[in-house]
Amino acid sequence: AQSVTQLGSHVSVSEGALVLLRCNYSSSVPPYLFWYVQYPNQGLQLLLKYTSAATLVKGINGFEAEFKKSETSFHLTKPSAHMSDAAEYFCAVSKMDSSYKLIFGSGTRLLVRP
């Protein structure tokens, strides 16, 4: 069965510091992986996705993620946090059956300190 685990329900960084949000997946087949961001009172917006092309995926707003099969990880990073990055971040894997639903992690809330 496919699943996603996000380590840390809350992550706090200083403005300008590195952002690292962790995501580990479980899948018996090559996965399609996604990172979504949810700003307060808004829907989910796609940051980036991995579809088996390049292992290092660049997304919007300066975020990127690296697919590491040996570690079953897809961690999200950004070199320098901005106050506007404060939001909740969700990692998801696409279920490879007829539903093609997204299986989400429980989310990580990023706090950015001035």
Site of interaction with another protein (CB under 8 A): 4, 9, 32, 34, 36, 41-46, 49, 51, 90, 92, 94-96, 98-102, 104-107
Closer CB to another protein, 62 or 107, in the complex:
107
Amino acid in the structure at residue 73: S
Q: Regarding beta strands 10-14 and 108-113, do their DSSP bridges make them parallel or antiparallel, or are they unpaired? A: parallel
Minimum CB distance to another protein, residue 17 (Å): 26
The CA dihedral of 13, 14, 18, 24, to the nearest 10 degrees, is 10
Minimum CB distance to another protein, residue 14 (Å): 26
Closer CB to another protein, 15 or 24, in the complex:
24
Minimum CB distance to another protein, residue 78 (Å): 20
